[in-house]
Amino acid sequence: MKAPSASRKKILLIYFSFSSQTNNLVLALINGLEKYNITVVRQRLVPMEQIRFPIGSIRGTIRMMVATFFRKRFPIEPIDPHCFHEYDLIILAGPTWSYNPSGPVLSLFDQYGERLFAGRLVLPLISCRGYWRVHWWGLKNLLGKYGARIVNVIVFCHPNPEPWRTIGVFLKLAGEVPEKKAWLAGKYRKYGHTQKQLKEAKRFGKLIGMELDQGGNNLHQLNFETEIAQP
Ligand SMILES: Cc1cc2nc3c(=O)[nH]c(=O)nc-3n(C[C@H](O)[C@H](O)[C@H](O)COP(=O)(O)O)c2cc1C
């Protein structure tokens, strides 16, 4: 991890990604931010006990969904000391797990909540199949509890129609290939976010970069609620 220089605006991007969807969004966002005079320090959350994607069985997937519904923590490796430096913005990105923030993000709050977030400007980014509102509400509570100032929110949903989206995500987690199942193929195009959505994430990165370049007082006015992000 590179230490930011004093003259540029600085963003800390903390994220967890299980099946690469948040990771892809984060990379696209950074790509957009790179056009501006901004240093991005990236911190990926790494669970102490490796969790494999796909989970690989229906029983294991159900077990994980039940555990995460009850907000099971997934302890994480220590984060880099650079995370505690001063930043103009913290972007906290991760998936929805059973209507909650993911286990590693919950552990981040348990371990570092106050030290990391007190008095900081925070922009959460959520990757989910479509059901993010309870997660968002929980995040707002946690960030508020630790004294963060939330400036906006970015949400990306998988753009498949229901019920195929839920069935597809479940099968993917269980280790199947839903796109190739004859009975599902016409209705379920692809697991996760599309190229169009990654382009949108890049555009959001540019919007954030431009706004920070101009002082960063209007981050709350940026419109991230688009048809492409949340179809
Ligand atoms: C255990 C588990 C529970 C999930 N629960 C939800 C949920 O409640 N709502 C939702 O919209 N998506 C849910 N998802 C789907 C993920 O949020 C979605 O696939 C996301 O894009 C994954 O991002 P990632 O690859 O960065 O981990 C769940 C995924 C897992 C693994």
Predicted local confidence at residue 45, as pLDDT: 98
- Which token pair is 34? 């790179």
The pLDDT of residue 201 is above 80 = yes
Please list, in sequence order, all residues whose beta carbon lies within 8 angstroms of the beta carbon of residue 197, skipping any fewer than 6 positions away.
25, 156, 159, 228, 229
Tell how far the Cα of 97 is from the centroid of ligand 1, in angstroms: 5
In terms of DSSP bridges, do strands 121-128 and 89-97 run parallel, antiparallel, or are they unpaired?
parallel
* Strand ranges for the chain from DSSP E: 9-15, 38-44, 89-97, 100-101, 121-128, 149-150, 154-157
Structure tokens of 175?
């280790």
Residue type, 204: F
131-139: which pairs have CB atoms within 8 A and are 24 or more residues apart? 131/96, 131/99, 132/96, 132/157, 134/99, 134/100, 135/96, 135/99, 135/100, 135/101, 138/100, 138/101, 139/92, 139/101
Give the whole-angstrom CA distance, residue 230 versus residue 25. 13
- 55-112 pLDDT tens trace: 999 999 999 999 999 999 999 999 999 999 999 999 999 999 999 999 999 999 999 9
To test the pocket of ligand 1, the residue of 13, 14, 18 to mutate (highest count of ligand atoms within 8 Å of its CB) is 18
Interval 156-197: pLDDT, tens:
999 999 999 999 999 999 999 999 999 998 899 899 999 999
Is the C-beta atom of 21 inside 6 A of ligand 1?
A: yes
